[in-house]
Structure 1
């Protein structure tokens, strides 16, 4: 059936990127399709009529959410009324689960078909939320295969569509070209350090990572270290830390952005957890994940989180293929020891790089096209065929 109206609500810039990809694919298949909801610059460029600015939903932290709650509830009521008046074929919420799932539930109760793109971390903590998700959506569209497994176990219709980052990043990359682009010595053993994009991550891990790097530079005389700074503020904080480690000055290259290039250039990567670990996997590089947080946060996380690992490569693999050093285990000594073993074993690194390339290919599915496949099936009143949406790629 031809789709004519799609309601899309994205909550932040990452959702704007995903939404724009879905809109492009929908326009290619259904010329004349119209879009309303909330979107950012990329979605606006694709023809979105945005009822509110994207930043309206970009509220982070408990205190901030509570402060803005009356406004957020007003926005949700307005969007509900707008969608009911417009009567879209499908309403698609992209991420922002605390906002979107409530809107999706309200619209679904009136008969509008709803889907949610990007699963919340319900598989990791507060798993009881899946019951509310089941009442809110006709289908969940997931980026990762283990997420789809979780929803199938709980009998929630799901489509594993693949990860847009996997689509974006090539299955082959050139280590030597990346080193040349960053001004690094082409043949030297190289370590990339990604201490995180948040100020708190630099505060908790910066000194630890640099102390580990000092130990590694004593162990490997030709080792070169590249550190990408995620923003000008992070660059300033890292430069201040490096000033306290003058012995490292000649061995470290601090660059602005270019985290992906730094990872491709490396033989091994030291990083905090999060999307960076997934990117390192998609760059096919051996890595060590080390992470510290405030003691109270760690105490709470240990009691709430239900997964055996924190890094996405291990969660995707279903086994510990990436070493994780968390909280008290993340000392300069243990980090340096683990990385020394990694840097000493070229054969093990090569095997892991091949494993990551295979995992990359499994995630590289054309996420936008598969998301639209699911939207079309839902709009036509078809149940998602789990076999076709979750089979291994050719």
Structure 2
């Protein structure tokens, strides 16, 4: 049996999930091809459970923004040095980079210069194709990557134009969604009655978001709770234009916990804002599938919600100084920030960025999606159009086959 070693590098909660899904597919495809596969990685607990040997846990050291990243510079460098030393003495057969731009540019450049015989695949490229903050970053990605496995149509187009060898595999969440419970199953599992309003709140998957995002989303939830308490008892599905809905004296808000480190501040905030809310640890899929509406930070979860046909309001904030620096010195400008809008490159979900991300604006958009049936129907139609651009089920298998083909070309 042929033996192969693959090194995977990613960070943050979403990268850990994508890495774990890829590892499952790699192991399955390798077994079918008679390959004994060893995977070492920078990632998190999900990847470890999938079978990777972790050289460092990177789920706790992610950030967005210039100033926000400063506390994580030293931990990141420490893990990077440890990984580079390991790779230097134990060269893998192939390296897979998943998102996580800053650290992965460092890993990729190290491989390019120190282990040039090792192929590099970028799976889920950094969204430099959206931000375009530095042409140099794009050039580095193209130069150090033997193949780029794209998950968005616009991502594929951008990097192809820049000279990368691109293979569009589709988005891995397409593989994951069929395992979610139905709306009815999810609401039964959570004890949500058919005529109750359930709103998912998704404030944070990074430390900085507790500071900059949670006060906004919880203040909006507090005001929304007050508005819903005056509504009549009418299910969302039967609402006519201008209709209203009651607070059923049950839990309105459901908050899936993305990381145990955020439990205490979220529990305190629920109490401080007087929210009728439940913090959920192990039933994240049920919370998302059961929701009538989600108010959420920008991130991969936006795509999960869209694939589950849940209307959503998306927002994001960084520190005012970070945003000023980005606009002043880096000409920061983006077409969209949420993945559903990036797939189709048009605004199919409302997104509120920085100074527009206020509680009042969140409440206004939320009420529109809850009580305007035409708006809800248009959202669902837009989601259907978006889904057609994400590829067929089997994304992770296609990615795994492309990776194994480069690691073991004679084996296929």
Superposition TM-score, scaled by structure 1 size: 0.80
CA RMSD of aligned residues (A): 3.4
Of residues 110, 119, 131, the one that matches 2:125 is: 119
Give unmatched runs, 5+ long, in structure 1.
383-394
Q: How does 1:72-151 map to 2 (within 5 A)?
A: 72-73=80-81, 75-83=83-91, 88=93, 90-96=94-100, 97-106=104-113, 109=116, 111-123=117-129, 124=131, 125-151=133-159
Q: Give structure 2 stretches of 5+ with no counterpart.
A: 63-68, 233-245
Q: In 2, Cα distance between the equivalents of 1:33 and 1:232?
A: 34
CA distance in 2, matches of 1:47, 1:236: 30
Q: Is the 8 A contact 1:9 1:100 kept in 2?
A: no
Contact (CA 8 Å) 1:10, 1:19: kept in 2 or not?
no
Give 1:235 shift. 4.2
* 2:265 paired residue number: 237
- CA-CA distance at 1:153 after TM superposition: 1.8
Three-state SS of the structure 2 residue aligned to 1:220 is coil
Whole-Å separation in 1 of the counterparts to 2:5 and 2:176: 25
SS of residue matched to 2:187: helix
Cα displacement string for residues 168-191 of structure 1 (whole angstroms, at most 9, x for unaligned residues): 112986323322221222123433
**Pair 42,174 (structure 1): closer, same or farther in 2 beyond 3 Å:** closer
| Per-residue Cα deviation, 1:135-156 (whole angstroms, up to 9, x for no partner) | 2111111232222121112121
In the alignment, is the contact (CA less than 8 A) between 1:91 and 1:112 conserved in 2?
Answer: yes
2:303 pairs with one of 278, 300, 319: 278
C-alpha contact (below 8 Å) 1:11/1:58 kept by paired residues: no
After superposition, the Cα gap between the structure-2 partners of 1:337 and 1:157, relative to the gap in structure 1 and judged at 3 Å, is same
Taking structure 1 as reference, are residues 161 and 223 closer, same or farther at Cα in structure 2, changes over 3 Å only?
Answer: farther
1:158 aligns with 2:166: yes
> Could you say if the C-alpha distance between residues 309 and 3 of structure 1 is closer, same or farther in structure 2, counting changes exceeding 3 Å?
farther
Alpha-carbon distance in structure 2 between the residues aligned to 1:75 and 1:291: 32
Structure-2 change in CA distance of 1:283 and 1:127 (3 Å): farther
Q: How many residues align?
A: 371
After superposition, what is the alpha-carbon deviation per residue over 1:186-231, rounded to whole angstroms, capped at 9, x for unaligned?
1234332222234225544244222332343155341462221415
